[in-house]
Amino acid sequence: MKVALALLTKDHPELTAGSAPPLRKAVDDGLIDLFWIDGSLDDLKRTYRVEPSPYQLYVGVTGGPDAAIVFALSRMLKNQNPHYTHVGIVEQDAALAPGWRDCLDLFESGREDGLEVGAVSARCYVDRILAQRDGYALMHNLGSGMVVFTRLAAELILHNYRTHFTSENRRIFAALSGIDIGTYWAFGAHDHPITTDWGFDRILASHGYASLALVPNRVEMLDQDIAAQGLAYADAPVSVRRDDGAFETFVDWTYCIREGDLLVPSPAIYRSDTGPSLYFPHQLGRLRAVFNGGWSFKWNQGFGPFSYVASKNAELDLTVQGPIGVHVGHGQFEISDLKSGHATAPVVETHPLAVMVPGSLPMRGIRIRSLQDDSVLLAVETTLPQLDVAPRLFTWNDLPEPG
């Protein structure tokens, strides 16, 4: 096992003082290699100036936390000397407690219990447990505060990187375990967008891989009042979540997925229960997107998580089938159907707007042209299932410059 962890920091050196030392100790002990990804713009707030430097340092990584995660995973996977078998994320406010390294043993513990483990964590919240086991928990959410992926799992996360929805998580874990997490997790039965890291474990489960966490918990969040958020650390086994039958069901179904005997809808594109699909801007390569002119991205936590910002006269060409909707956050785009000649150019000032473009079965080109600077593209919605281009691995290099 060759492990690389990325510490994500931005400003707040008082938090880094709690998260960095355990990682430095793990480097000194030869357990991990450390990538330090810093987004601080004020040099006085940086805390990485230590000589000699036992890590690979990247500064000025801006664009928000999701950009930092994509950058970190992309860099660690790209590294060839050494070639890492496992890569992970530790956020700035995650203080690793003694015993945190035991989470790396969960890859083997899960295998002994019939699972193929894609991700592990030393952090465990009670309401994110799917099924309690001896010494660990099968999880429906690990989050990105502290997580270690196999190389394949990290690639799956990048392949399917996007904002997720609560209903998607409930459906996949109910199908694979028989447990409806909506009866006890923090979001209840509400259907709404959730942050990107809330979908990591759904992505892995959809491909037949499990997410496990240590019990007792071995991570303290330094700047969060978790009780105020309705959260609690699993400092002891959570007996109410002990369900050996659900666990064995999960083992069986995920095995069938890995063997190709069970086909699960791709988690890459969001498809609502009523049919339409959402393609976020960084996913539009699946619709044969060609971007021209000035485009940048900005973090949009609840929807995307990346929206694209266009300068005046920047263009985007797509090839689609059937009616579509272009979700505009701000500004003005001229949206033209290159087959029929239909064109529309509404001005969006205060609230996002889905601009609908009619269409029939023949494939045709759509051109989206910005008529003013700082026009914001949020997503493209399709009514019909599309002939998607098979994507290559999404990495940091596929994003435009941060705005």
CATH code at position 303: 2.60.120.260
Domain identity same for 165 and 287: no
How many CA atoms are closer than 13 Å to the CA of 352, on its beta-carbon side? 14
Tell me, yes or no, whether 67 lies in a domain: yes
Please give the pLDDT value at position 44: 56
Report cis status (omega within 30 of 0) of the bond before 400. no
Tell me, yes or no, whether 264 lies in a domain: no
Contact status, residue 38 vs residue 48, Cβ threshold 8 Å? yes
- For 245-260, the pLDDT digits (tens) are 999 999 999 999 999 9
Of the residues 203, 226, 259, the one at which a domain ends:
259
From CA 68, how far away is CA 251, in angstroms rounded? Answer: 33
Domain identity same for 206 and 82: yes
| Cβ count near 127 (within 10 Å) | 17
Contact status, residue 198 vs residue 143, Cβ threshold 8 Å? yes
Domain identity same for 323 and 190: no
Tell me, yes or no, whether 203 lies in a domain: yes
Measured CA to CA in angstroms, residue 312 lies from 82, 315, 380 at distances of 44, 9, 20
Domain identity same for 57 and 125: yes
Domain identity same for 225 and 194: yes
Measured CA to CA in angstroms, residue 141 lies from 108, 236, 244, 349, 358 at distances of 20, 18, 19, 37, 39
Tell me, yes or no, whether 265 lies in a domain: no
Q: Which residues span the domain enclosing 221?
A: 3-259
Please give the pLDDT value at position 46: 66
CATH code at position 213: 3.90.550.10
Tell me, yes or no, whether 15 lies in a domain: yes
Of the residues 259, 292, 317, the one at which a domain ends:
259
Please give the pLDDT value at position 48: 62
Structural domain count of the chain: 2
From CA 342, how far away is CA 243, in angstroms rounded? Answer: 57
Of the residues 206, 227, 259, the one at which a domain ends:
259
- For 12-50, the pLDDT digits (tens) are 989 999 999 999 999 999 999 999 999 988 765 666 655
* Sign of the C-alpha dihedral computed for residues 397, 306, 229 and 271 taken in this order: negative
DSSP string, 266-332: -SSSEE-TTS-EEE-GGGGGGGT-EEES-EEEEE-TTSSSEEEEE-TT-EEEEEEES-EEEEEEEEE
Mean pLDDT to the nearest integer, 195-209? 97
Listed residue (115, 197, 209) closest to 153, CA to CA: 209
Domain identity same for 51 and 141: yes
Domain identity same for 191 and 278: no
Domain identity same for 287 and 240: no
Measured CA to CA in angstroms, residue 286 lies from 161, 268, 304 at distances of 13, 10, 15
Tell me, yes or no, whether 238 lies in a domain: yes
- For 303-353, the pLDDT digits (tens) are 999 999 999 999 999 999 999 999 999 999 999 999 999 999 999 998 999
Mean pLDDT to the nearest integer, 264-285? 90
**Burial call 241-270: b when 16+ CB within 10 Å, e when fewer:** bebeebbebbbebbeebeeeeeebeebbbb
- 362, two tokens: 């023949």
Tell me, yes or no, whether 228 lies in a domain: yes
Mean pLDDT to the nearest integer, 104-114? 98
